Amino acid sequence: MASKKGNVLIGVSASIAIYKSLEVISLLKKRGFSVKVAMTREASDFISPVVFEALTNSRVYVDVLEEFDNPDDTNITHIALAKWADVFAIIPATSNIIAKIANGLSDDAVSLLALASEAKKLIAPAMNSSMYLNPITQENIEKLKKYEFHIIEPVEGDLACNTKGVGHIADVCDIADAIESLSSEKILFGKKVIVTAGPTVESIDPVRFITNKSSGKMGYAIAKAAVDFGAYVTLISGPSNLRKPFGVDFVNINSAYEMLDELKKRIENYGDCVVIMAAAVSDFKPKRYEKLKIKKRSGNDKLVLELIQNPDLTKEINRFAKEKGIKLFTVGFAAETDNLLKNAIEKIKKKGLEFIVANDVSRNDIGFNTDENEVSIIYKDGSMERLPKMNKYDVACEILRRIE
């Protein structure tokens, strides 16, 4: 049965990085994909197909002649498998399997499927750096790119041969992201999208600051979903522990002023673009920054901190874009604890937004630092749409579907 997210066929070849394919499969299953596996004979000597069968609840295709032994099992034939897949990803890909596919060979389950499948294809090479940098391997990889195979490049890292170098398989989350991206509809293809995320921090002295509880999860989910939908994405983020989503142009900032500077730079660079202001920007900052750490003083048990307002970033960027003749489609967020809708409607009018995403941060189960969100979307014309509670990636997709 086809899953909501799509069908992913994983081809596994005999690299020392083979265990990473198990991690990628787990991630894909958690994200709602249906997954099936095909392995080379050598790979099945490294890890038994039984492990992959347990993880995917599905038979693993290893023996190309097997289908003739089981003529009634139509699920296992290479043509049926090839047709079933929306994405075919080879994880890990040995130099051998890359060479075979680049030369049209098909004498094992993985290369056979690579030739038979019309799905989008991704290859995650993993090998010793001499093998990877060998011009023959490089030529084979270039040839595969020419035939629309997507390559997720290996990185520098520890290699099995007790050396360091390029050839270490890409990060498993990046591989899962790349597969998710390949399986997504490209409704924002070629669009330029800037997303702000996370909190800002406003320094008091070299060791102290004021900030807020934002984790960045909503903004990061929007940036990832926008990449999946085919947009060029810049993510401008305050401090966050989250992993940078694969495929975004990432900018780290601290204060509201730094965020504003980066926003202006990127808007000027992009020209007409979509800006999604999901960051929880500090409304206030200390009036004075103390260059030296503020000391406790005897006889003075009080410290009065004077705060002044930060600029309103949405207003500022809209003014900036107007001056430069740039057209923005600006989406705002309203994180409120009370009078949620009234405040959101006021903001939309005041700030020149296309629509505003309002969420109630007084609830513990949604909003700040949670994986789920339940939002309402309020439009320029005053109409409102309530979305059901969903994980933040699904909320992100719904927000992006409303961009013109």
CA distance readout (Å), 30 to 5, 12, 109, 191: 11, 20, 26, 29
Angle, helices 135-146 vs 95-102, to 10°: value is: 50
Specify the 3-state DSSP secondary structure of 39: strand
Least distance between ligand FMN and beta carbon 98 (Å): 8
Quote the tokens at residue 18.
């083979």
Cβ proximity to ligand FMN: between 128 and 282 the closer is 128
Cβ proximity to ligand FMN: between 110 and 259 the closer is 110
Query: Quick check: 86 and 7 in contact, CB under 8 A?
Result: yes
Cβ proximity to ligand FMN: between 158 and 385 the closer is 158
Find the Cα–Cα–Cα–Cα dihedral 172, 45, 123, 99, rounded to 10°.
150
| The one among 3, 5, 16, 384 contacting ligand FMN by CB under 6 A | 16
Q: Which of residues 160-199 bind ligand FMN (CB under 6 A)?
A: 160
| The one among 127, 231, 263, 395 contacting ligand FMN by CB under 6 A | 127
Site map 67..106 versus ligand FMN, x via CB under 6 A: ---------------------------xxxx---------
| Part in contact with ligand FMN (CB under 6 A); list of ranges 19-27, 38-46, 351-359, 370-378 | 38-46
Angle, helices 19-30 vs 172-182, to 10°: value is: 50
d(CA 226, CA 220): 10
| Part in contact with ligand FMN (CB under 6 A); list of ranges 12-20, 57-65, 201-209, 303-311 | 12-20
Total number of residues that touch ligand FMN (CB under 6 A): 17
d(CA 88, CA 86): 7
d(CA 129, CA 201): 42
Specify the 3-state DSSP secondary structure of 146: helix
Least distance between ligand FMN and beta carbon 341 (Å): 56
| The one among 8, 10, 17, 256 contacting ligand FMN by CB under 6 A | 17
Q: Is 161 one of the catalytic residues?
A: yes
Cβ proximity to ligand FMN: between 43 and 253 the closer is 43
Q: Does 129 bind ligand FMN (CB under 6 A)?
A: no
Let me know if 339 is exposed, middle or buried by CB neighbors in 10 A (0-12, 13-18, 19+). Answer: exposed
d(CA 371, CA 390): 9
- Count CB neighbours of 119 within 10 A: 23
Least distance between ligand FMN and beta carbon 128 (Å): 7
Least distance between ligand FMN and beta carbon 318 (Å): 52
d(CA 269, CA 359): 31
| The one among 21, 34, 40, 370 contacting ligand FMN by CB under 6 A | 40
Strand duo 232-237 + 192-197: pairing? parallel
Cβ proximity to ligand FMN: between 45 and 346 the closer is 45
Cβ proximity to ligand FMN: between 108 and 177 the closer is 108
Cβ proximity to ligand FMN: between 131 and 356 the closer is 131
Quote the tokens at residue 367.
């909003």
Least distance between ligand FMN and beta carbon 113 (Å): 13
Which residue among 161, 173, 273, 397 is the active-site one?
A: 161
Q: Does 374 bind ligand FMN (CB under 6 A)?
A: no
The sign of the dihedral angle between the CA atoms of 349, 352, 353, 354 is: positive
Q: Does 123 bind ligand FMN (CB under 6 A)?
A: no
Quote the tokens at residue 237.
């983020």
Chain centroid, CA 185 distance in Å: 15
| Part in contact with ligand FMN (CB under 6 A); list of ranges 11-19, 196-204, 243-251, 307-315 | 11-19
Residues in Cβ contact with 207 at an 8 Å cutoff, skipping those fewer than 6 apart: 293
Least distance between ligand FMN and beta carbon 350 (Å): 57
Q: Where are the beta strands (DSSP E) in 138-231?
A: 149-151, 155-158, 164-168, 192-197, 202-205, 208-210
Q: Does 44 bind ligand FMN (CB under 6 A)?
A: no
| The one among 91, 126, 176, 267 contacting ligand FMN by CB under 6 A | 126
- List residues with catalytic annotation: 161
Residues that bind ligand FMN (CB under 6 A): 13-17, 40, 42-43, 94-97, 108, 126-127, 131, 160
